[in-house]
Amino acid sequence: MPLSPPEQAPEVLAVEGLRITVNGGRTEAVRDVSFTVRAGESVGLVGESGSGKTLTCRSVLGVLPPGCAVAEGTARLGDTELTALDRRGWERLRGQRLGAVFQDPASYLNPSLTVGRQLAEPLRVRQGLSRSEARERAVQLLGAVGLHQPEEVFHRYPFELSGGMLQRVLIATAVAGDPELLVADEATTALDTVVQAEVLDLLAQLRAERGLALLLVSHDLAVVAEVCDRILVFYAGEVVEDGPTEQVLAAPAHPYTEALLRVASIGDWGRRELAVIPGRPPEAGEAPTGCRFADRCEYAAPQCRSDQPVPLRPAGEGRRTRCVRADDLALAGTGREEVTA
């Protein structure tokens, strides 16, 4: 179950009007993305491949790939303006106030250093702990992420651990600095179902214990339904709908969300299923004006194809949609029970 954060929990992350370009500024990949994440809250990013989820997360972490840049917009972590940071500023934040976990833990750990050394070294450098304090804290963290015999794991090399154990090590590394925000991009996709459930439980526990805010990307709607308080639905570089997870899934306010739910409910919610909505999303930089989903939308009408981008507009309490016909349509949702079955 998503854990509802306290009503008035402070905003940890506030993104406003984010626009990201790729190919050295020649192509727009993400536009007009705005959202907040409060302390203890979990926000899920869903949408087909190439819709802009990873670029959005990477911009928040200050690790956009070469040739990609934030062209417009702001992102604040607490009272720190992220888009104004220089390299040193980002380095101070990452591993301390910002943590990240990605899909392939092995590629983020140095194969020639023990797990303990990789965990303890940043604690010494960033938090000024002595060698023995850092070691003690590292062992504590390995235990806290559910690894049995943490003293022994401390001395292991990454290749000696299973995928699930490595993902826990990576989570320990990400939360070592007691971050305010943890960004998890497909963090459980490569794991088997049982280990995935354990890792998700661990993230929920860290949120409850530390008030950690979580930004979670997953192709798997069942994961998002299970973990996230709110959901952002990405399509072709835009957020087309957002709102409380339960409400969005039960009664979507955008035909793309309805299509995602319909497609997902016939399969096992995996990566494959999201690809079978008829038609293809436009490539970055080739999106039509007006509604970007129009070519695939069964409800498309002449007013959907205007020469202006469609703005996000309110669709009920705490909800927004980018569909101009949302008020006329009665879209079918999926009950949460069905989603998580």
Contacting residue, 12, 13, 15, 22, with ligand ATP by CB under 6 A = 22
263 binds, among ligand ATP, Mg ion, ligand SF4, none (CB under 5 to 8 A by kind): none
* Torsion angles phi and psi, residue 77, rounded to 5: -105, 105
**E strand residue ranges, the chain:** 11-22, 27-38, 42-46, 69-77, 80-81, 98-101, 181-185, 213-217, 230-235, 238-244, 313-314, 320-321
* Cβ distance to ligand SF4 smaller for residue 39 or 236: 236
Residues 85-104 that bind ligand SF4 (CB under 6 A): none
Number of residues near ligand SF4 (by CB under 6 A): 13
CA–CA distance, 54 with 189 (Å, rounded to integer): 14
Contacting residue, 45, 161, 291, 331, with ligand SF4 by CB under 6 A = 291
297 binds, among ligand ATP, ligand SF4, Mg ion, none (CB under 5 to 8 A by kind): ligand SF4
Contacting residue, 147, 297, 312, 339, with ligand SF4 by CB under 6 A = 297
125 CB-near residues (< 8 Å, 6+ apart):
none
Interaction of residue 218 with Mg ion, rule CB under 5 A = no
* Cβ distance to Mg ion smaller for residue 46 or 225: 46
Cα–Cα distances (Å) from 283 to 25, 28, 235, in that order, read 15, 10, 11
**Least distance from ligand SF4 to the Cβ atom of residue 303, Å:** 7
Residues 267-306 that bind ligand ATP (CB under 6 A): 284
Residues 155-214 that bind ligand SF4 (CB under 6 A): none
Amino acid at 28: E
Token couple for 297? 């939308």
CA–CA distance, 174 with 101 (Å, rounded to integer): 7
Amino acid at 4: S
319 binds, among ligand SF4, ligand ATP, Mg ion, none (CB under 5 to 8 A by kind): none
51 binds, among ligand SF4, ligand ATP, Mg ion, none (CB under 5 to 8 A by kind): ligand ATP
Q: What is the distance in angstroms between the CA of the first residue and the CA of the last residue of the chain? A: 13
* 3-state secondary structure (DSSP) of residue 305: coil
- Three-state SS string over 141-184 comes to HHHHCCCCCHHHHHCCCHHHCCHHHHHHHHHHHHHCCCCCEEEE
Number of residues near Mg ion (by CB under 5 A): 1
**Least distance from ligand ATP to the Cβ atom of residue 231, Å:** 14
* Cβ distance to Mg ion smaller for residue 50 or 288: 50
Contacting residue, 294, 312, 331, 339, with ligand SF4 by CB under 6 A = 294
CA–CA distance, 257 with 251 (Å, rounded to integer): 9
Which of 166, 171, 283 is CA-nearest to residue 236? 283
User: Site map for ligand ATP, 49-88, x if CB under 6 A?
Assistant: xxxxxxx---------x-xx--------------------
* Residue 85 and residue 62 in contact, taking contact as beta carbons nearer than 8 Å: yes
CA–CA distance, 89 with 64 (Å, rounded to integer): 15
Residues 30-89 that bind Mg ion (CB under 5 A): 54
Instruction: Provide the 10 A C-beta neighbour count for residue 189.
Output: 17
**Least distance from ligand ATP to the Cβ atom of residue 237, Å:** 7
Binding residues (CB under 6 A) for ligand ATP: these are 22-23, 29, 47, 49-55, 65, 67-68, 284
Binding residues (CB under 6 A) for ligand SF4: these are 254-255, 291, 293-294, 297, 299-301, 304, 323-325
